[in-house]
Amino acid sequence: MVEAESAKAIDSDGDTPPLTLLAVTHGSPSPDNRAAIIGLVDAVASARGDLDVGIGFVDAQHTDVASAVARSVHAPDAVIVPLVLSAGYHVRTGLAAGLDQVESSEVAMAATLGPDSRLIDVLAARLEAAGLRQGDSAVLAAAGSNDPKAVRECFETGRLLAARLGRPVTVGFIAAAMPRLHDAIEMVREVHAGSRVVVSTYLLAPGHFNDAVATAGADVVAPPLIVPGEPVASELVDLVLDRYDDATVLVRESGKAR
């Protein structure tokens, strides 16, 4: 199911009211995950007081994601911003199909958050704060997907992070894709014997997958992109708003975007 929650709803004074920003993400039983996501959306709403902003939590176990998303779009004009790092099945199929069930000429779905250089900024900052040193070996921990496009995007993020850090970055997946994170860590240990293995957590927020990263066998694990109770990185706020703005341009120009 989708559970709609208000972040901050503020009416626009402009001649053409802005489209509602509906941030949609996978539901999680983790209170920390929920708090982190709400913190991000609240930060987005605070940064753009002209926007109506809401949250939709999609239950990943729900068999009809499309209908659930359609029910969550209460505003006649809205942009759905998927708070996901790569375009897996639910984004390409479930969320997109949900738009077809919305009776509005101005409802669009924005692009996913990654890959993007601003995510690399936050990942690099997390690693620095975690104590990354010269001589450490880096591993990027990603959730994993059965969708080849999503997997390719994770490897692209690893490549971008390697360029930023000036050292190799090995990608490991928590589920679905290969190599598995534990295997990637062990492989790095064999190749770079004696070096610390430091994991960059390519997850938006805490939860089950983040717990799996913590027990995968690395020496140091940097936290995910959002940590509840900490200020949300401005790069993430800007990224969400840019995805919204890009989709808004398309929907205004064409009447409806996908």
Higher pLDDT, 26 or 143: 143
Confidence of residue 9 (pLDDT cuts 50, 70, 90): very low
Name all domains of the chain by residue range, CATH numbers in brackets. Answer: 2-114+231-254 (3.40.50.1400), 117-221 (3.40.50.1400)
pLDDT at position 251: 83
DSSP bridge partners of 106:
77
Buried-state track 67-102, b at ≥16 Cβ within 10 A, e below 16: bbbbbbbebebbbbbbbbbbbbebbeebbbebbeeb
Percent of the chain with pLDDT over 90: 66
pLDDT one-digit tens code per residue, 199-235: 999 999 999 999 999 999 999 999 999 999 999 999 9
Mean pLDDT of 175-186: 97
pLDDT at position 17: 80
3-state DSSP assignment of residue 203? coil
- C-beta neighbour count of 15 within 10 angstroms: 5
| Out of 64-73, 140-149, 175-184, least confident range | 64-73
Q: If phi over 0 gives left and psi between -120 and 50 gives alpha, with beta otherwise, what is residue 183?
A: alpha
pLDDT one-digit tens code per residue, 96-153: 555 555 555 567 889 999 999 999 999 999 999 999 999 999 999 999 999 999 999 9
In the predicted structure, residue 7 carries a pLDDT above the cut 70: no
pLDDT at position 66: 53
Phi, psi of 29 (to 5 degrees): -75, -10
Percent of the chain with pLDDT over 70: 78
pLDDT at position 3: 44
Higher pLDDT, 45 or 61: 45
Mean pLDDT of the chain, nearest integer: 85
